[in-house]
C-alpha cells in the first residue's frame, strides 16, 4: 500500500499551560494536522497532566482532530468522558486493563477512531489480534510519562515490522510515533514506514512553530 501523507500532531504537554487556547491556535496556524493530548494519571505513568475538562474547554478553539493518548489505568471508565469532551481519536495502552479488545470496541462504539499504543518494552504481538479494530498504531519511542526524552533508536526496527503488518491489511492504519521526534529523528521513522508524528518539545520549544512542523514533516535540512 502506498505510504500516506505525513501528519504532525504537536503534543500539548510541552505547551505553555498558562495560555493553552492561544497555544492551540498558534499551532493550528502553523500547519499542525492533529492536536495530541497526553492524559496522565500519576499511576499508569509517574506524572499527572490533565483530563476531560481541559480537553473539553479547548474543543471550541480549534478544528484540528483531537488525538487523545490515555496513559491511565483503568481507561475504560473514562472513554465516554473523553468522547464527550471532543476526542476524535482515543488511544489506549494494552497494559491499561485486562481486555484491550473490549476497550477498542468501546471506543468504536462511541463513534471515535481507535488506537493502540505500544511502549518500548511491549511486544508487537499485542497489535496482531486487534488490527481489524485499529485506525492508529502509536509506537512509543520513549517510555511514557514525560516530554523531552531522548529518542530510542531501538524502535525503528519495530516501526518497520509494524509497517509490514499494516501493509498486509486491506485498509489503512496510521503508524504514529511519539517521543523524541524532531527534524533529525522523523526522517529515520519515515524511512522505517511511519507516517504520523507526535512532537512536543521539538515544536513548542522552537522559536518558530511553523518552521518546526514543516521540518518534521519534510525532514531535516542539510
Using CB under 5 A as the binding rule, whether residue 178 contacts Zn ion is answered as: yes
Nearer to Zn ion, 100 or 179 (CB): 179
| Other residues' Cβ atoms within 10 Å of the Cβ of residue 136 | 20
Q: What is d(CA 55, CA 58) in angstroms, rounded to the nearest whole number?
A: 5
Is residue 178 part of the annotated active site? The answer reads yes
Check residue 144 for interaction with ligand DX5 (CB under 6 A).
yes
Task: Establish if 188 lies at the interface with ligand DX5 (CB under 6 A).
Answer: no
Within 10 Å of residue 204's Cβ, how many Cβ atoms?
Answer: 20
181 binds, among ligand DX5, Zn ion, none (CB under 5 to 8 A by kind): ligand DX5
Residue of 153, 222, 211 whose CA lies nearest to 181: 153
Q: Nearer to ligand DX5 by C-beta: 102 or 153?
A: 153
Residue in 86, 94, 100, 180 binding ligand DX5, rule: CB under 6 A? 180
Question: Could you confirm whether 135 is annotated as catalytic?
Answer: no
Q: Report how far residue 90's alpha carbon sits from residue 57's, in angstroms, rounded to the nearest whole number.
A: 17
Please state the separation of Cα 114 from the chain's center in Å: 11
List of residues contacting ligand DX5 (CB under 6 A): 11, 13-14, 36, 38, 69, 142, 144-145, 147-149, 178-181, 198-202
Amino acid at each position: 500500500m502506498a505510504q500516506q501523507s505525513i501528519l504532525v500532531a504537536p503534543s500539548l504537554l510541552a505547551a505553555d499551560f498558562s495560555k493553552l487556547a492561544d497555544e492551540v491556535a498558534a499551532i493550528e496556524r502553523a500547519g499542525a494536522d492533529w492536536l495530541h493530548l497526553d492524559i496522565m494519571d500519576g499511576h499508569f505513568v509517574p506524572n499527572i497532566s490533565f483530563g476531560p475538562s481541559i480537553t473539553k474547554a479547548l474543543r471550541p478553539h480549534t478544528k484540528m482532530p483531537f488525538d487523545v493518548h490515555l496513559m491511565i489505568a483503568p481507561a475504560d471508565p473514562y472513554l465516554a468522558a473523553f468522547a464527550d469532551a471532543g476526542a476524535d481519536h482515543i488511544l489506549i495502552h494494552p497494559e491499561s486493563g485486562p481486555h484491550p479488545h473490549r476497550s477498542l470496541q468501546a471506543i468504536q462504539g462511541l463513534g471515535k477512531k481507535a488506537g493502540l499504543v505500544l511502549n518500548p518494552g511491549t511486544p508487537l504481538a499485542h497489535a496482531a489480534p486487534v488490527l481489524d479494530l485499529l485506525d492508529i498504531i502509536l509506537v512509543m519511542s520513549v517510555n511514557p510519562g514525560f516530554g523531552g526524552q531522548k529518542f530510542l533508536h531501538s524502535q525503528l526496527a519495530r516501526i518497520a515490522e509494524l509497517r509490514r503488518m499494516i501493509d498486509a491489511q486491506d485498509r489503512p492504519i496510521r503508524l504514529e510515533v511519539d517521543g523524541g521526534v524532531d527534524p533529525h529523528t522523523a526522517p529515520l521513522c519515515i524511512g522505517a514506514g511511519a507516517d504520523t508524528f507526535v512532537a512536543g518539545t521539538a515544536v513548542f520549544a522552537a522559536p518558530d512553530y511553523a518552521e518546526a512542523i514543516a521540518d518534521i514533516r519534510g525532514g531535516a535540512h542539510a
